[in-house]
Amino acid sequence: MTFAILTLVIASFFTSPAISGNSQARIKARCAQTPYPQPCEHFMDHNPKYGFSIKGNFDFFKMSKQLALDTAMHAQVNAYSLSAKCRNAKEKAAWADCLELYGNTIMKINKSIDHGTSIDVQTWLSTALTNLETCERGFIDFGITDYVLPLMSNNVTKLISNTLYLNKGSYEEPAYKEGFPTWVSPPDRKLLQSETRQANIVVAKDGSGNYKKVNEAFAAAKERSGSGRYVIYVKQGTYSENVDIGNGLKNIMVVGDGIGKTIITGSKSVGGGTTTFKSATVAVVGDGFIARGITFRNTAGPQNHQAVALRSGSDFSVFYQCSFEGYQDTLYVHSERQFYRGCDIYGTVDFIFGNAAVVVQNCNIYPRKPPNRTNTITAQGRTDPNQNTGISIHKCRVTAASDLKPVQSSVETYLGRPWQKYSRTVFMETFLDSLIDPAGWMPWSGNFALDTLYYGEYMNTGAGSSTSRRVKWKGYRVITSASEASRFTPGNFIAANSWLPGTNVPFTSGL
C-alpha cells in the first residue's frame, strides 16, 4: 500500500467544481465555528448541494451530518478496493474490522440525520467516531505502521467531530421502551422452569432444547418475525463458542441458569493473531440486548495480552447477574449506552475499557494476579471532548480475586489510566479495598492526557479510598458536590429512567 495509492484514494473524494460568491462566503463563516474548519470548508466548497442548502444553523448542522455521511461512504468504497492489497493474515484481519466498522459508522450517521432526540444523535455520532478509532487500533494491535485506511479516515473523523460540536447542548431523554416479556420473573425471584419454557428458543447441551449450540439459536433468531423482545434460554453447561450478535438481531434477551452455571467461553486473543475487536467470546451490536445469569469467559490467559470476554456496542444494553472473566481487556464497553448490575468482573490490565456511556452499578470488581505486578481496572477511550461517553462505577465493591490475595502487597493496582486524550471515569460510593495504590491512578505514557482527562472520586469507602495521596493531575478531582456527582448516575448519564424500568432490572437512578 503505497503513497501513490493513497493519492489516488484522496483524489477520488468530491471532485465537483467549486462554488463561488455568496454561497462560498456563507460556507466559510459557518465552518469557522467548528473545531475543524478546513475540511468543512474544503468539502462543502467543492459540492454545490451543500452551500446552496444552508440558510441557518439547523440547515448547516443537517448538511454537516450529510457531509460526514457522504465522506464516510466514499472512504468505505475505497476501503473495499484497497483491502486486496493486504500483505498478510494480520493485515487482512485489521482491514476486515475496518470494513465492518465503516458499515456501522455509516448506519449511525445516517440514523442521526432524520431520527432521535439530540442525546440520541450525540450518542450515535460518538459511536461513529469510536468506530474509526477502533479501525486504526486493529493495525496498532499488530504493530503495523504503514497502513492507509486511518489516513483516509482522518477527514471523516474531523467532520464527525464537527457535527458533535454543533449538536452539543441540552439533551432530551430517549424513548426506548422494549424490556423483559411480562412472564419473566421479577429480579428478586428465581427464574422458574415453568417460565423458561415460554422462551422462544431453548439451548441445551444435553439435547433437551431446540438447539445444542448458542450460535444455532442466534441463527434461528435472525429468521424471526416481528421486532418485539425475543428470548433465548441457555441451560446450564459450558458452551465453547464465539458468538457475534450483529445489527440485525435487536431486542434479544439471553437468560442462563446463573453465574458459573451457564458459561460461554472462548480463547481468541491478540497474542493468538486476532485483533482486540474480534477477540471477544461474545460480541453484541444489535440494540436492546439483555443478558441475565450468564458467565462470559476468555481463557487465552495473561500471556496472550488483549483477550475480550464480552464486547458490547449495543445501544440500551443491560447485563444483570452476569460474570465477565479474563485478564487483559476482559470487558469491552465499546460504544452506545449500557448498564451493568449485580455482575462480577475479573481481570488484570485495562479490564473495563472502551468508549460507551456506561454505568456499572452494585457489581463486584475483582483484580487478578497480573503477569507484571501492575493492575489497571479501567481504560476509558474518549477521543473528543464532545462525546457523551465515560465509565461510571457506582455502588460497587473492588476487592482482590482469590489468586491476587496471597501476593496483593507486591502488586500495584490502580483505578485506571487514560487510554485516550479525553478519558473520563468516575468511582462513586464504591468500596475500595486496601489493594488500591495510594496514588489511585496510573499515567498512560508520560504526561499524555493528564490535563484533558476527567477522573473523579466521590464518597468512596474502604482502606483504599483515601484521597490524601492521590495524583495531582489537572484532570483529576475529588468530587465534593452531589450535583456534580449526580451527572454520572444512571438517571442522568444514560437517561435510565426512560428505558431501564421496562427491563425489570433493579437500579438506583441517583446517588
- Dump the DSSP string for 197-231: TTSSEEE-TTS-SSBSSHHHHHHHHTT--SSS-EE
pTM above 0.85, yes or no: yes
Distance CA 69, CA 73 (A): 6
Q: Are 97 and 277 in contact (CB under 8 A)?
A: yes
Say how many residues make up the chain. 511
Grid cell 464465539 in the structure block, residue: 242
pLDDT, tens digit (0-9, with 9 covering 90-100), for 426-458: 999 999 999 999 999 999 999 999 999 999 999
In the chain, what percentage of residues exceed pLDDT 70?
86
pLDDT, tens digit (0-9, with 9 covering 90-100), for 122-152: 999 999 999 999 999 998 999 887 765 555 5
Q: What's the distance, CA 444 to chain centroid?
A: 20
Q: Is residue 329 annotated as a catalytic residue, yes or no?
A: no
pLDDT, tens digit (0-9, with 9 covering 90-100), for 336-361: 999 999 999 999 999 999 999 999 99
- Alpha carbons within 13 angstroms on the beta-carbon side of residue 402 total 0
Residue 313's φ and ψ, nearest 5 degrees, are -125, 30
Bigger pLDDT: 16 vs 394: 394
pLDDT, tens digit (0-9, with 9 covering 90-100), for 247-260: 889 999 999 999 99
Residue 4: the pLDDT is 35
- How many CB atoms sit inside 10 A of residue 474's CB? 10
pLDDT, tens digit (0-9, with 9 covering 90-100), for 262-321: 999 999 999 999 999 999 999 999 999 999 999 999 999 999 999 999 999 999 999 999
Q: Which of 350, 384, 433, 437 is catalytic?
A: 350
Q: 491: part of which helix (H) or strand (E)? A: helix 490-493
pLDDT, tens digit (0-9, with 9 covering 90-100), for 477-510: 999 999 999 999 999 999 999 999 988 899 999 9
Residue 189: the pLDDT is 43
